[in-house]
Amino acid sequence: MGEARTTKEEIVQLLKVKGEHTVADLAEALEITEMAIRRHLSKLEKDELIYSKMVRQHVGRPTYLYGLSQKGEDTFPKEYKQFAIDMLEDLARMGDEKMLRHVLQARTKRMEEQLQKRISNQSNLAYKVQEVAAMQERNGYMVQIKRDGEHSFIFEKQNCPLKEIAERFPQVCEDEKDMYKRLFADANVKTLANMCVGDCNCSYQIKEKK
Comparing CA positions, the residue from 195, 87, 105 lying closest to residue 141 is 195
Give me the domains of the chain, ranges plus CATH numbers: 7-73 (1.10.10.10), 81-208 (3.30.1380)
Tens of pLDDT along 126-167? 999 999 999 998 888 889 999 998 899 999 999 988 888 889
Angle among Cα 162, 10, 16 to the nearest 5 degrees reads 30
pLDDT, position 80: 58
Cα distances (angstroms) measured from residue 189 to each of 5, 97, 148, 156, 185: 34, 27, 13, 13, 9
Instruction: Let me know: does 41 contact 23? Beta carbons within 8 Å.
Output: yes
pTM for this one? 0.65
pLDDT, position 50: 92
Radius of gyration of the chain (CA): 20
Comparing CA positions, the residue from 62, 74, 69 lying closest to residue 41 is 69
